[in-house]
Amino acid sequence: MKSELEPRSMTSELVSFRPLEVSHLSQNSFAQDIYRLRFLDPEVVAQSETNEVPTFQDHVSWLKRHLEHHPFFYLLTRSEKFLGYIHGRYESAGIILSVALIKEERKKGIAGRAIEYVLQQFGGTIWYARILSGNEASLGCFEKNGFEQMYQSATMIILKKATR
């Protein structure tokens, strides 16, 4: 199933919101795009909880496990061009939400719209987001979608939102 996020302005094209599937991993194209964004983009790496860079094959194995055991992993694309992703993973208290976009697509409202869409699709749960301190853009994006800070340390902010 593929759906589209409405553009914020009349000049922007629609952003496709499509589930990552195992078949995408065998083609390597989207898997490589995700790998480059997660582990080679300096701004994303700076916000990561780990400095370890897995091999590409380990990354593909992680994606396969994620697809088997967690609720969703969506690709964000425009005219088949990879823009980023949003995914959720189960934790004991709820679902941890993560979103990342390629540099040229940041600060255009895409992440906020993707968060909004996921919250609508998977209501009735408790959501969390972990953001490194100092990432004001991510913090503002989640707060605009109703997340509230529940914990802050020198390095990390934990946000929470309960939906019905």
Mean residue pLDDT across the chain: 85
Stretch 20-40: mean pLDDT: 86
Q: What is the pLDDT of residue 121?
A: 86
9 vs 103: which has the higher pLDDT = 103
* DSSP conformation letters of 136-151: HHHHHHHHHTT-EEEE
Residue 80 tokens read as 């088949």
Residues in the chain: 164
118 vs 164: which has the higher pLDDT = 118
Reported as a single tens digit per residue, the pLDDT across 97-114 is 999 999 999 989 999 999
Q: What is the pTM of this model?
A: 0.85
Query: Which of the 8 DSSP states describes residue 148?
Result: E
CATH number for the domain running over 3-162: 3.40.630.30
